[in-house]
A and B are shown apart, each in its own frame.
Chain A
Amino acid sequence: MYGNDVIDPNVPLNAAETAAYDEATAHVEQRAAGEASGDGFDALIAADQRIEPRDAMPDKYRETLIRQIAQHAHSEIIGMQPEGNWITRAPSLRRKAILIAKVQDEAGHGLYLYSAAETLGIDRAELLDRLHDGKQKYSSIFNYPTLTWADNGAIGWLVDGAAIMNQVPLCRCSYGPYARAMIRVCKEESFHQRQGFEILWTLMRGTEAQQAMAQDAANRWWWPALAMFGPPDTGDAAVKGGHTEQSMAWGIKRFANDDLRQKFVDMMVPQADKLGIVLPDPDLRWNADRGHYDFGEIDWDEFWRVLRGDGPCNAERIEHRRRAHDEGAWVREAATAYAAKQASPRRESAA
């Protein structure tokens, strides 16, 4: 998809295309070469070194990572559903092939992340149980429906764009396996955002009805995408009891939610202009004093409501996920039985 010429290849479209990604990957090299003053957890963190699976680590650090990586993994696999919904109805073979590849990538990202979580001593099956039982969350963005084809464009452009903004700093996370998984994920997400932009770009140059469809999708996805960065964690509006401070001290998180959200808005406004899409925020305007775009109030009540289960598609997503898991049970059982049979050929022939 990188060969696509409708987009100026010199303009960075997303965070994975900018210097931030290169800095994060270079950071890996540089850090590996550095010396810590000792092998203890605190010394390694202080020296900005990586923690690896068998190193000693505080229980809280382990728990925090398991929770965060599992939620991230769950988001990837639940995230297959909104777009998977459109595979049979993609408007061309080209779009269908792209959408299948994208949904497959989401599955792959889930697998990288579950395997990173497992290095912390938890079983994937246990994490899936927690997802199915509603004990662990996934990103609430996936509880919104994909009503039209343009939603696939808006998801790629806005949702994957926000995801990349969140994920690029995670390439520098203090926990080695998570950081390495994120480097792979970010590299692949870049295609996701570009294909989304291209869908909208095509629609915006189409008929009036197609333009209206693209605008409507952007209207519905803009605010949930901004909420993806999480509740306010700086200034007076900061939500109490958040994880930001501790996660920053541990090098799990590198930037505050609010800072990433601001960066995202600053990056998206010119892209929306280019598309000819009007972002649905009357308060959105350039603030020369701050050097940033000001934007309106996010509806945090809605965010919490959807996160707690009362979004348009919460029940449907989990129900679908459970059903897929249950209906796949016979395949897993058959493969296990086959493996057991192949492993004991001698006993078979003696019988």
Chain B
Amino acid sequence: MSGAVTPPAETSAEVPETSADAPAEKSWPLWEVFVRGKRGLSHVHAGSLHAPDAALALRNARDVYTRRQEGVSLWVVRADDITASSPDEKDSFFDPAADKIYRHPTFYDVPDDVEYL
């Protein structure tokens, strides 16, 4: 799992041992759910759920995350398919943005009495 939201499970690679006669039940994959609250807004991450496939993930997401008309559109994405930046590299990864302050309008010296600037 790449784990944008959910880190790798401790036991995700190993099937936990149970009694010899019954093979352990395979867990359904994890899906991240994104909800568009209303027209004009972006989809926003709402949470996650387990489902065997995309169609059921979508139906489960409707039942779990939009029981009270919280959304007009839903996305479900396999958690495994999300590539996330690492919190450890946060500084070096996002740093270049900080030394280019001329990208911000406040960088520029202009006279106070100019309107609409």
Contact = CB atoms under 8 A, between A and B. Distances in A.
A186 to B, nearest CB: 13
Given A53-B3, A115-B49, A336-B28, A121 B9 contact: yes
Contacts, number: 84
Q: Chain B: interface residue count, which band?
A: 20 to 34
Contacts of B30: 118
B47 A115 contact: yes
Interface SS of chain B: helix, strand, loop or mixed?
loop
Contacts of B26: 336
B11 A108 contact: no
Nearest to A335: B52
A177 B48 CA distance: 10
Contacts of A111: 49, 64
Nearest to A191: B68
Highest count of chain B CB atoms <10 Å: which of A52, A101, A188, A339: A339
A37 interface: no
A52 B84 CA distance: 13
Contacts of A329: 25
Given A115-B47, A181-B47, A125 B25 contact: yes
Given A112-B64, A115-B49, A125-B27, A55 B87 contact: yes
A4 interface: no
Given A111-B49, A118-B30, A332 B25 contact: yes
Interface in A114-158: 115-116, 118-126, 129
Contacts of B5: 53, 119, 177
Interface in A87-125: 101, 104-105, 108, 111-112, 115-116, 118-125
Nearest to B60: A111
B12 interface: yes
A333 interface: yes
Given A55-B87, A108-B63, A126 B7 contact: no
B27 A54 contact: no
B16 interface: yes
Contacts of A121: 7-10
B47 A112 contact: yes
A118 B47 CA distance: 11
Interface in A300-351: 329, 332-333, 335-336, 338-339, 342-343
Contacts of B27: 123-125
Contacts of A118: 6, 9, 30, 48
Contact of B9 (A55, A122, A333): A122
Interface string B68-106: 100000000000000010110011000000000000000
B10 A108 contact: no
A39 interface: yes
B12 A123 contact: yes
A318 B68 CA distance: 30
A47 B5 CA distance: 22
A104 B68 CA distance: 12
B50 interface: yes
Given A53-B3, A55-B87, A124-B27, A105 B67 contact: yes
B73 to A, nearest CB: 18
A84 B28 CA distance: 26
B50 A124 contact: yes
B68 A188 contact: yes
Contact of A126 (B3, B16, B28, B56): B16
A121 B10 CA distance: 6
A184 to B, nearest CB: 8
Contact of A54 (B47, B49, B84): B84
Given A108-B64, A108-B67, 14 more contacts: A55-B87, A115-B49, A118-B6, A119-B7, A121-B9, A121-B10, A123-B27, A126-B16, A188-B67, A329-B25, A332-B52, A336-B52, A338-B52, A342-B53
22 contacts: A54-B7, A54-B86, A108-B67, A112-B64, A118-B6, A118-B30, A118-B48, A119-B6, A121-B8, A122-B9, A123-B9, A123-B10, A123-B27, A125-B16, A125-B25, A126-B16, A177-B47, A332-B28, A335-B53, A335-B56, A336-B28, A336-B52
